Structure 1
């Protein structure tokens, strides 16, 4: 086991001491249990963060179209509409 020194704000230290007394544990036990609980929140082998990419839409074709290429289609639609 490794021995270390930790500094706590007084209110936190007092609360930890109260918990230790209530549970009939030493302050060291309280700190070990707290640390064990804390490390479970962080996986040992974190997954690499995916690189964010700008969302795209599949519109089935190009966004930009030369209007001249649509002229014959537009005229056909105009003729069918009877106008």
Structure 2
């Protein structure tokens, strides 16, 4: 993940939420939440951030492996996600 999950200042943009897709620098609006049970405890929630263009491909990548938990708007992430 690229940075803290704090909300952007009112009226501003959150430059910390950048898409996790390789080479993409677009603002992330989706959070792909996943967990690899071979590496992480059951309560661990890993997050990849995604712009509109990469949300499906990033979610499909982890879903294919059985790791996808959910896809939510970035604003719904908790401080413990990441």
The structure that is helix-richer by fraction is 1
TM-score (norm: length of structure 1): 0.22
TM-score (norm: length of structure 2): 0.22
The structure with more radius of gyration: 1
Q: Which has the higher contact order (CA 8 A, sep 6+)?
A: 2
